[in-house]
Amino acid sequence: MTFYMRVFLLAGLAALVLGSGTIFSSREAGAESTYDRFVRQFWVSARKAGVSRKTYDAAFAGLSPDPTVLEKNAHQPEFKLPPSQYVVAAVTDTRVDVGRKMLEKYKAELDVIEKRWGVDRHVLLAIWGMETNFGTFMGSMNVIRSLSTLGYKGRRARFGRGELIAALRMMERGVVPEGPMMGSWAGAMGHTQLIPTNYLKFAVDFDGDGKRDLWGAPPEALASTANFLSKQKWLPGKTWGYEVKLPSRVGKGHAGRRRSRSLAKWASLGVKRMGGGAFPRPGDRAYLYLPMGSKGPAFLLLNNFRVIMRYNAAHTYALSVGHLADRIRGGEPFITPWPDGARALTEDERYEIQRRLHIRGHDIGVLDGVLGSKTRAAIRTLQKEKGVKVDGFPTPKIIEILRAEQTKG
């Protein structure tokens, strides 16, 4: 379950020519042979799990290892966004606006979901927004190919094989009878990107039509995610955490899960909710999180934050989900500014970046104001050319560079 999706090429691979005349380098041919051997041998495990030979052969027909998956599995991404940039990129005004529209559109269904599972509807919508931008991109990779590529080699082989068995069991049950299951490079699927094992454990038939459809029925995906979070011990009626103001005597030495204490104890140390107000449940335990050190925003994180991390085990992801949920609910942006000056771009600024990059000759896809992987790749190219820090992050400075360059032109 990943927020940034980038496409990489394997270093040293020869060009692939599709069809009967496919040409491979010797390295790729060796990988293909290893993959074929894995597929043959893995049948024993699939059969023990109740997968028929017919389903197995249909699942692997014509498949080869996916170089994109191999590259993502073998290496860290080209760049990592610091927490400030991650949150700013994730929690945009546009995403908040769409989330509020979905809140109204699916109000009746969310009423039922929230009553049955006790999970905050705004958190469910935030996860939907984070995972697939409310269903606009659910992944375009063959799940069987992705998971079998992970399973046959590399550091995540155990994960890949376990998820592959679950995906094959889904095929055996006819979960997606019209074609291959599509999802992310790591096998996450549908509106809220459940991996196959979690589909089998937590997906629900919300509308009672006999199917558990994560792809075509948003309420069913939201209900399935609610079931997942509920089973991870979500506490109904409670929040994920608070932005707080620290006294001078509280700092990095107090941060971290091992230093958790009651909210009452934090208050006794002089920690206050940003914007004022008392902690509503002083007995709740929380730990201090300083994503950018003592100079940036500070947060006290509660049980429900850790539950969100069961969906994606990254603090920046869970913080973005919690903040997006609060914004959809009607809350304000964080009060403390990020120390590196990161801020959300306006919708006009996002369109301007895309338009100016397009004029420059970059392939950024549709000019939609959504700054995805193509836009960030173009920004990295621009940054390299201009000799500035290369991180692919869209900032007001990028707009200034583009304006200056195109004014001169």
On whether the CB atoms of residues 268 and 274 are closer than 8 A, the answer is: no
Coil, strand or helix: which one is 291?
A: strand
> Which residues are 241's β-sheet partners?
301
* SS3 (DSSP) at 407: helix
pLDDT at residue 8, as a whole number: 32
105 membership: H or E segment, kind and range: helix 93-105
pLDDT averaged over 10-residue windows placed end to end, the chain, 409 residues: 38 32 43 83 97 96 90 58 88 94 98 98 98 93 96 88 97 83 93 97 95 94 98 97 96 95 98 93 97 93 98 94 98 93 84 94 88 87 91 87 84
Q: Report the b/e string of 92-129 with b at 16+ CB within 10 A.
A: bebbbebbbebbeebeebbeebbeebebbbbbbbbbbb
Judging by DSSP bridges, how do beta strands 182-183 and 141-142 pair with one another?
antiparallel
CA dihedral sign of residues 309, 202, 46, 144: negative
CA dihedral sign of residues 325, 143, 83, 395: negative
Closest CA to 256 of 213, 305, 290, 221: 290
Nearest to 111 by CA among 129, 94, 124: 124
Distance CA 3, CA 184 (A): 11
Listed in sequence order, the DSSP H helices in 153-300 are 157-172, 196-202, 218-231, 263-268
What distance in Å separates the CA atoms of residue 202 and residue 194, rounded to the nearest whole number?
Answer: 9
pLDDT at site 268? 97
Residue 9: count other Cβ atoms within 10 Å of its Cβ. 9
Q: List the structure tokens of 241.
A: 């955490």
Sheet containing strand 298-301, edge to edge, reads: 261-262, 285-289, 298-301, 241-245, 272-273
At position 65, the amino acid (one-letter code) is P
Task: Report the pLDDT value the prediction gives residue 116, as an integer from 0 to 100.
Answer: 98
Q: Structure pTM? A: 0.83
Nearest to 43 by CA among 55, 34, 33: 55
Question: What pLDDT, on a 0 to 100 scale, did the predictor assign at position 409?
Answer: 57
Domains by residue range for the chain, with CATH: 1-79+139-188 (1.10.8.350), 347-408 (1.10.101)
